[in-house]
Amino acid sequence: MAIRIRIGDYERVTDDALDRHSVGYFPRMTESEAWEAGRGVWRLDLRMVRRERYALIVGEGRVRAIAEITDVTVHGTDRGRKKALWGTLLTAGHPIYDHYVNQIDPLRNDSRNSVAYGDLPEEVRLRARHCACGCGQPTEQNFVPGHALRAIQARIREHFGGSALSFLAWLDNELPAEEPQAEVLTADRART
């Protein structure tokens, strides 16, 4: 499934949750600029976003950028908690990119809502992949349900003699201490 975000006209902004200086579409903008202008911050349904794999940014009725979603962050704004997408821009050669970029919005509707969710026919053959735990089972997500934990437990057995405490001590020692800026929902957490 895909999420479509329709952006309005270009405008300058201040105090943006993503530290942007402008949002919206302007002619001749690059795909990277379109992605940055459209990826957030929106009132998104996290249950829906967690199922989405691709984000299409639409300006003036045409797809201006497409990204594979990797993360979702939640930001407090003066209008409540809103979400921003993180992802990797698709490029020429990817079937979703080749079929949709610079084409008419495939999820257009009569709604005034800038956000829409829907299926893209080209996604069907891209959905099936193998479970990331290494079991070889086909899945439409990163892991077959329950296999993310299985993969973590296997790594703890292999590298830490089965001791979760040793793993946590190592992890705490390796990760830099930083203050949380936004609640981050990784794609793995969102899709498991």
Question: Domain end: 112, 127, 142, which one?
Answer: 127
Q: Which residue has the higher pLDDT, 184 or 63?
A: 63
Is pLDDT above 60 for 30? Answer: yes
Q: Which band of pLDDT confidence, cut at 50, 70 and 90, is reported for residue 130? A: confident
Q: Are residues 144 and 70 in the same domain?
A: no
Mean residue pLDDT of the chain comes to: 88
Assess whether 6 and 78 both reside in one domain.
Answer: yes
**Do both 153 and 77 map to the same domain?**
no
In a domain, 111, yes or no: yes
Same domain, 10 and 28: yes
Query: Do residues 147 and 90 both lie within one domain?
Result: no
Containing structural domain, residue 161:
129-177
CA quadruple 65, 117, 53, 39: dihedral sign: positive
Model confidence band, residue 181 (pLDDT cutoffs 50, 70, 90): low
Residue 187 belongs to a domain: no
Residues above pLDDT 70, as percent of the chain: 89
Residue 190 lies in a domain: no
pLDDT confidence bin for 192, thresholds 50/70/90: very low
If asked whether residues 147 and 115 sit together in one domain, one would say no
Q: Which pLDDT does position 191 carry in this prediction?
A: 46
Residue 161 maps to a domain: yes
What the block records as the tokens of 75 is 């930001």
Stated as kind and residue range, the H or E segment containing 68 is strand 62-77
Cα torsion 59, 61, 67, 72: sign = positive
Q: Classify residue 93: in a domain, yes or no.
A: yes
Beta-ladder partners of 4: 56, 116
User: Are residues 55 and 80 located together in one domain of the fold?
Assistant: yes
Residue 190: its pLDDT value, please? Answer: 47
